[in-house]
């Protein structure tokens, strides 16, 4: 485990990347959609960094503990080009600047997300108009279809591109995993095989209380 400025690394890929793909998330729990996004991005980036913010701007911290989420990521995202870190900030621009401090000024930063996340990020109230367009001078986005393709505003299209996944993930979400567990419905296909037993223990215990 290593600290670099505000970012704390739990696993680092062996070679410095020219282009870094960043997947921020709550990972509550990790799903097959997270891994599909990471795998698809490896045709466009050199390394994928899974980032678990210590504070989230748009949702409360509940469910699995921070340590449990890190362990799920360790087990699920075991590829050589995958890194795992915690960030102090939760907004993309905050995470981007922590990544810049950790990886240096030359690396190109690309955030990876689904259509729903892209819409939330682009339309977030950053306090003034044009703020997000300015942020796209520091990073760009690769966006996967999720309930349809993302159609960015014309002034942002230069920095937002489509990312095709190997299989559709529209119905896959951490919320769905938790809801199915609570209802006693099948959920196993929504999470990577290495963490299924851990997910059963963590979320089954939560639901039993």
pLDDT in tens, 21-35: 999 999 999 999 999
Q: Which residues are 111's β-sheet partners? A: 22, 141
Handedness of CA 145, 120, 62, 208 (dihedral sign): negative
Q: Of 8, 11, 16, 34, nearest to 108 (Cα)? A: 16
Which domains occur in the chain, in start order? 2-168 (3.40.50.620)
**Average pLDDT score over the chain:** 91
204 pLDDT above the threshold of 90: no
Q: Check: CB of residue 118 under 8 Å from CB of residue 152.
A: yes
- Angle, vertex CA 189, rays to CA 187 and CA 191, nearest 5: 85
20 pLDDT above the threshold of 60: yes
For residue 15, the model assigns a pLDDT of 93
For residue 4, the model assigns a pLDDT of 46
Question: Could you give phi then psi for residue 119, rounded to 5 degrees?
Answer: -60, -40
For residue 2, the model assigns a pLDDT of 46
Q: In angstroms, rounded to a whole number, what is the distance separating the alpha carbons of residues 88 and 86?
A: 7
Distant-in-sequence, close-in-space partners of 11: CB < 8 Å, separation ≥ 6: 74, 82, 83, 84
- How many alpha carbons fall within 13 Å on the CB side of residue 80? 3
**If DSSP codes are grouped into helix, strand and coil, which group holds residue 49?**
strand
208 pLDDT above the threshold of 50: no
Q: Tell me the pLDDT tens digit for each residue of 116-144.
A: 999 999 998 888 989 999 999 999 999 99
Q: In angstroms, rounded to a whole number, what is the distance separating the alpha carbons of residues 119 and 141?
A: 12
Q: Tell me the pLDDT tens digit for each residue of 147-202.
A: 889 999 999 999 999 999 989 899 899 999 999 999 999 999 999 999 999 999 99
**If DSSP codes are grouped into helix, strand and coil, which group holds residue 125?**
coil
- End-to-end alpha-carbon separation of the chain, Å? 33
Question: In the block, which residue shows the tokens 């390394």?
Answer: 47
Question: In the block, which residue shows the tokens 């489509």?
Answer: 162
């Amino acid at each position: 485990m290593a600290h670099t400025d505000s970012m704390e690394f739990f696993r680092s890929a062996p070679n410095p990347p020219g282009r870094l793909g960043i997947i921020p998330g709550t990972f509550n729990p990790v799903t097959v959609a997270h891994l599909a996004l990471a795998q698809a991005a490896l045709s466009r980036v050199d390394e994928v960094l899974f980032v678990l913010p210590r504070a989230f701007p748009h949702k409360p911290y509940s469910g699995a503990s921070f340590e449990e989420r890190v362990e799920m990521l360790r087990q699920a995202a075991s590829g050589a080009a995958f890194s795992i870190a915690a960030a102090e900030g939760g907004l993309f621009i905050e995470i981007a600047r922590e990544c810049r401090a950790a990886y240096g000024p030359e690396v190109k930063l690309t955030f990876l997300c689904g259509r729903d996340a892209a819409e939330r990020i682009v339309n977030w109230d950053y306090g003034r108009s044009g703020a997000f367009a300015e942020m796209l001078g520091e990073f760009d986005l690769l966006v996967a279809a999720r309930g349809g393709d993302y159609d960015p505003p014309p002034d942002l299209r230069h920095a937002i591109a489509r990312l095709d996944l190997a299989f559709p993930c529209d119905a896959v979400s951490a919320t769905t995993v938790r809801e199915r567990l609570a209802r006693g419905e099948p959920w196993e296909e929504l999470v990577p095989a290495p963490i299924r037993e851990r997910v059963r223990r963590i979320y089954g215990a939560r639901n039993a209380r």
